Amino acid sequence: MRVLIVGGVAGGASAAARARRLCESCEIVVFDRGEYVSFANCGLPYFIGDVIMEEADLLLATPELFAKRFNIEVRTRSEVTAISASKRTITVTNLRTGVEYLESYDALVLSPGAQPFRPDIPGIELAGVFQLRTIPDSVQIKAAVQGARRAVIVGAGFIGMEMAENLRLQGLEVTLVELADQVLPPFDPEMAILAQERLEENGVVVRLSTSVTGFRDDGGLAVDLSSGETLPADLVLLAIGVRPETKLAKTGGLEIGPRGGIVVDDFMRTSDPNIWAVGDAVEVHDLLTDNWKLIPLAGPANRQGRIAAQNVVGRDGDHEVSRFRGVQGTAIAGIFGLAAAATGASERTLLRAGIEKFGKVYLHNDHHVGYYPGGKAIALKVLYHLGDGRILGAQAVGEAGVARRIDVIATTIQHGGTVYDLAEAELAYAPQYGAAKDPINVAGMIAVNNLEGNLPLADWAHLADTEASVIDVRSPKEFASEHLQGAVNIPVDELRQRLHELPDHKIWLICGVGKRAYYATRLLRQRGFDASNLSGGMKTWRALAASGLAAR
Amino acid sequence: MRVLIVGGVAGGASAAARARRLCESCEIVVFDRGEYVSFANCGLPYFIGDVIMEEADLLLATPELFAKRFNIEVRTRSEVTAISASKRTITVTNLRTGVEYLESYDALVLSPGAQPFRPDIPGIELAGVFQLRTIPDSVQIKAAVQGARRAVIVGAGFIGMEMAENLRLQGLEVTLVELADQVLPPFDPEMAILAQERLEENGVVVRLSTSVTGFRDDGGLAVDLSSGETLPADLVLLAIGVRPETKLAKTGGLEIGPRGGIVVDDFMRTSDPNIWAVGDAVEVHDLLTDNWKLIPLAGPANRQGRIAAQNVVGRDGDHEVSRFRGVQGTAIAGIFGLAAAATGASERTLLRAGIEKFGKVYLHNDHHVGYYPGGKAIALKVLYHLGDGRILGAQAVGEAGVARRIDVIATTIQHGGTVYDLAEAELAYAPQYGAAKDPINVAGMIAVNNLEGNLPLADWAHLADTEASVIDVRSPKEFASEHLQGAVNIPVDELRQRLHELPDHKIWLICGVGKRAYYATRLLRQRGFDASNLSGGMKTWRALAASGLAAR
């Protein structure tokens, strides 16, 4: 069997190695138009930032290693330009010699990846305007950083954020320009704002709701913004997302989906029975919203490559096949020591998918018990189905323990688990590693209380126009330092004695992070008051207000 | 309704607070024979070690707080000495005044905890021989540390390990004496040895398979060991486990189980319909082995307290009840910067429970990608059912990312998940936070390969008497530095060219950590050789050999 693989990074490299492990007798050839295969594209911002010192460190495997270890032929600088699905051939151009030739296959695996989006902006072709996708890209940017003083990054997604950090730590003045009204689009605004604040604390200038209208050579490079502002720059990075690379797939007549990605089934097979496709170029099934999506992430790409190979090769001639379970969008980024991680759907994603029956809780528990020194607060938001309590998504931002909590919730989502499961989770605890009631447990308990009617949650979005009286149950000292407009202060420990001061209509309770207000909510509801809790307390309010999602 | 709670730490404190949140009108009284309630017993070793500086930091809640915030009466220094289940009364002795009195209840919750085991050893009553369970215990030990030079710790479980670290870091010479032939009994020996080595690297002397035969006043304190050795000591800590406190339960005629703990049902109710029990004193259902066990851990105690309260109080008068799902034994301890964590059953536990049809894989992947600086290896062992691939248990030891991986596996176990689920898990990845193929994914993939027949695993225990030829597929340089007796070196990259050198009988393949040997196993099996992999490679061999579980 002759297996040809187009694209030698992540999905393609995984497919090739897995195919060999299952089929020693297969002929396996990998084509890549670039100079390198199997390189660490997620490491490129840190290579530019001199965190990863050597270019060689980025090479996870070389063509020589593929040859020696796996008996796989890798042809670099070899662009596959056309597929004839009926003849089972591909057309290859050797970019070193210009020679074009045909290769035939029994099975073809496409892992062409995605290209950085380059919008049609005047001057985008100017020297000094970079994109970051390959090692040569990163080498160019690294060279440009030498002697540069001012950088403009367009796009505040994961790569934009990581590059802002790495360029800033190299001493550059960095401005981050983002079309949306928030950074980190996979996050809801009140979580993303925490990352934005961290950027700004570290001297990165953030311009939201702003687009680039043009680049000009004005002696140096000048970046014109929709705001009318012009930013001088020694270096510009475009990080405004990627588009699936489907030109080749189209030559083979493969079905392309409504989002512009290659259509595959659960077995990573395209519309042609002899062609599979994996990685950033394919549309994947989103497990939370049941939609198909483009989710360019390394983890799924690697697993898809493995699964495609298993289906290509089969085992022992039988028809055993391997299914890709879909994607839930687990991701994480580091921003100046802060980790921002998410899994499942955001609130916005749910609403877009027409899923409106969800609850949300906020908490700010430390990553380990407070009595052990060094605890760092994790801002955690969990979204769940208001019927059965199924977890729909979670976002977490903090300096420690963030990946761990998101991974636990990701695993719970993988198993269709609920907030009841979070409440009951038995996690590793010692004082320096967590809490007997881990933030995960507490998130689950709050949501269960909400689901079971014990803890109605007030709607932050209506803080400005609610008829409820807001009662702040913190200490007078805390109240004095900052409080919601119109809030009345009755400390939780005095509440039982001061019930006569309370109105007989709707009451919204608030405290620092939601815990004392929860006690107060329970107390008041049992005494017949119509009380609700403002989840996450003043800490969440600050983030919501800064994002324009709650009244100031 | 009158709810009385005996014991005000962890389970009892949780039950009291939860009962109040669900029942504002209940009368709730907590009795504790000690001076403190709701203190951080897990923090005591670190208080002694001056990591936690203030005694006040250990107090999670005071009687005053319980009174003001929760309207719960807490009676400290009040020992409950008898229960009359038929009359629904308890007998209380005020330890301050000696006055004895009766209290009646509608519901009684017992959270008496466990007492440190004090074996019948001559001299155990001598001054300087301590146990650690309460704040006064820790204050005494802290005082004894001043001016002490030599400490002997008896018992190398979690508390013994933590105390060894804390006393050593205070500058004491520390000897850890353990009856078993390993430290950390919840771990299998080849994992526990990693913690032992870390102790020894930090100057703790470890004496295994050794018991204390007596304590003597020999001018100073002298500790006689079964080995014949006598250790002079300024301070001795007994940390040889705890025994459930059931004296009180017995006065009420409550059923005591075969392991000496109070018997409860899934709703934490004892054999008496008006009495519930929670925490270290009760026998709990082990989800992995289906046995009942004593598992004294803070997390389950807290959740049990909550559940008992929910069942005691019910809601709105209906009969809604709350079920405790059982215990899987997730735990973690820190040892001089090393974390040792486990969830589910150990190999030994499985064998004791008669479960023999399990597979095991070892790996040593870094906690994040190797190309990003600072990656720390995690030694990970995963046990799974050889039929359906269900996860039975896991153990991990390393300097970073250990709790996270064990928590993901704990969550998978909670949902009855399999090694297939680990392989497919979608976890948070960025270069500084993990890997596109996380150690969790890799563990799952190895086990799936094993289950599906692609990767037979050799039995380390038969390294000495196997008829297999051991082929080491590392580089000649690695082979030269250390290798298994009788092993033959054929580097993996030369294997295809040197097939003629291989024997036609059983072959066991080994490399550094198992990865190259895996490639070799796949290659050879497809070429018709009877090849198996020595899981975890030389790194696992070193641990097994040091534990006496594999031939040197």
Return the pLDDT at A552.
Answer: 84
Instruction: Give CA angle at B145 (B139, B149), nearest 5°.
Output: 170
Interchain CB contact of B520 with A (< 8 Å): no
Residue range A479-496: average pLDDT? 97
B401-417 average pLDDT score? 98
DSSP three-state, residue A457: strand
What element of type H or E holds A468?
none
Residue partners of A337: CB distance under 8 A and separation at least 6: A198, A399
Does residue A316 have a pLDDT over 90?
no
Q: A349 pLDDT band (50/70/90 cuts)? A: very high
Amino acid at B410: A
The Cα-based distances of A364 to A123, A375, A395, B282, B427 in angstroms read 45, 11, 12, 32, 22
Phi, psi of B55 (to 5 degrees): -55, -35
Asked if residue A213 has pLDDT above 90, the reply is yes
At A250, which helix (H) or strand (E)? Answer: helix A247-251
Q: What is the mean pLDDT of residues A264-291?
A: 95
Beta-strand runs (E) in A160-312: 173-177, 205-207, 212-218, 220-225, 230-233, 235-238, 242-244, 275-277, 284-285, 292-293
SS3 at position A173 = strand
Hey, is the C-beta of A126 within 8 angstroms of any chain B C-beta?
no
Instruction: Output the average pLDDT for chain A.
Output: 96
- Chain B within 8 Å of A323 (Cβ-Cβ)? no
Pairing of strands B27-31, B2-6: parallel
The amino acid that residue A339 corresponds to is: A
From A186-200, A315-329, B129-143, B398-412, the region with the lowest mean pLDDT: A315-329
Q: Which amino acid is at B160?
A: G
Report residue A314's pLDDT band, with 50, 70 and 90 as the boundaries.
confident
User: For A343-369, what is the mean pLDDT?
Assistant: 97
Instruction: Determine contact: B436 vs chain A, CB below 8 A.
Output: yes
pLDDT at A321: 80
**Max Cα–Cα distance, chain B, nearest Å:** 89
The sign of the CA dihedral B17, B19, B22, B26 is: negative
Question: Contact at 8 Å (CB) between A447 and A361?
Answer: yes
B65-98: pLDDT as tens digits: 999 999 999 999 999 999 999 999 999 999 999 9
Q: How confident is the model at residue A319 (pLDDT cuts 50, 70, 90)?
A: low
Q: Is the pLDDT of residue A320 over 60?
A: no
Question: How confident is the model over B529-539, as a mean pLDDT?
Answer: 98
Closest among A551, A90, A21 to A305, alpha carbons compared? A21
> Is residue A42 annotated as a catalytic residue, yes or no?
yes
Report how far residue B264's alpha carbon sits from residue A237's, in angstroms, rounded to the nearest whole number: 64
Which chain A residues are Cβ-neighbours of B22 within 8 angstroms? 454, 522
Band (pLDDT 50/70/90 cuts) for residue B552 is confident
CB nearest B519 (choices: A25, A69, A518): A69
The pLDDT-based confidence of A326 (bands split at 50, 70, 90) is very high
Average of per-residue pLDDT across B51-64: 93
Across chain B, what does the average pLDDT equal? 96
pLDDT recorded at residue A118: 92
Q: Are the CB atoms for B22 and B70 separated by under 8 Å?
A: no
**Phi/psi-derived region of residue B11, left when phi > 0, alpha when psi is between -120 and 50, beta in every other case:** alpha
Q: In this model, does residue A484 exceed pLDDT 90?
A: yes
Alpha carbon separation from A10 to A78, A328, A512, B485 (Å, rounded): 17, 18, 45, 38
Query: Which of B187, B368, B406, B407 best probes binding to A when mutated, by most A CB atoms within 10 angstroms?
Result: B407
Region for residue B401 given its phi and psi (left: phi exceeds 0; alpha: psi -120 to 50; beta: otherwise): left
Residue B315, pLDDT above cutoff 70: no
C-alpha span between A343 and A331 (Å, rounded): 6
| Type of residue found at A63 | P
Q: Is the pLDDT of residue A370 over 60?
A: yes
Count CA atoms within 13 Å of residue B326 on its CB side: 15
Given a cut of 70, is residue B382 above it in pLDDT? yes
Q: How far apart are CA B366 and CA A251, in angstroms?
A: 42
Which tokens is B312 given? 């005691």
**Per-residue confidence at B321, pLDDT binned at 50, 70, 90?**
confident
Chain-chain contact of B60 with A371 (C-beta, under 8 angstroms):
yes
Cα Rg, chain A, nearest whole Å = 26
| DSSP H helices in A314-401 | 347-352
pLDDT tens profile B178-194:
999 999 999 999 999 99
- Segment B208-220 mean pLDDT: 95
Our CA angle for B179, B184, B188, nearest 5°, is 100
Q: Do A301 and B436 touch (CB under 8 A)?
A: yes
Distance of CA A533 to the CA centre of its chain: 29
Give the model confidence (pLDDT) of A68-88 as tens digits.
999 999 999 999 999 999 999
The dihedral through the CA atoms of B54, B57, B58, B59 has a sign that is positive
Best of A46, A371, A437, A493 to disrupt the B interface (most B CBs within 10 Å) is: A371
Q: What is the pLDDT of residues A509-537, one digit of tens each?
A: 999 999 999 999 999 999 999 999 999 99
| pLDDT single digits (tens) A432-441 | 999 999 999 9
User: Order of strands across the sheet with B378-385?
Assistant: B331-335, B338-344, B391-398, B378-385, B358-363
pLDDT tens digits, residue range B96-142?
A: 999 999 999 999 999 999 999 999 999 999 999 999 999 999 999 99
Contact A403 B71 (CB under 8 A): no
Nearest CB to B58; choose among A315, A371, A415: A371
Distance CA B276, CA A9 (A): 59
B415 and A421 within 8 Å at the Cβ level: the answer is yes
Name chain A contacts of B371, Cβ cutoff 8 Å: 40, 43, 52, 57-58, 60
Please list the alpha-helical segments (H only) found in B43-181: 44-48, 63-70, 135-145, 158-169
A18: exposed, middle or buried (C-beta count within 10 Å: 0-12, 13-18, 19+)?
buried
For the cut 80, the answer to whether the pLDDT of residue A131 exceeds it is yes
Chain B residues 452-471 with CB within 8 Å of chain A: 452, 454
Mutant choice from A369, A427, A438, A446 vs B, greatest count of B C-beta within 10 A: A427
Give, to the nearest 10 degrees, the angle between helix A515-526 and helix B11-22. 50
CA distances in angstroms from B358 to A105, B361, B421, B423, B486, listed in the order given: 41, 10, 17, 18, 29
Helix (H, G, I), strand (E, B) or coil at B338: strand
Averaged pLDDT, B475-495: 97
Residue type, A66: F
- pLDDT exceeds cutoff 70 at A375: yes
Q: Provide mean pLDDT across the span A26-48.
A: 95
Amino acid letter, A82: A
Q: Are B238 and B129 in contact, with CB atoms under 8 Å apart?
A: yes
| Chain B positions in Cβ-Cβ contact with residue A306 (cut-off 8 Å) | 445
| ipTM of this complex prediction, to 2 decimal places | 0.97
* pLDDT in the model for residue A315: 53
Q: At what angle do helices A439-451 and B298-313 cross, to 10 degrees?
A: 10
H-helix segments, A475-514: 476-481
CB contact under 8 A, B407 and A406: no
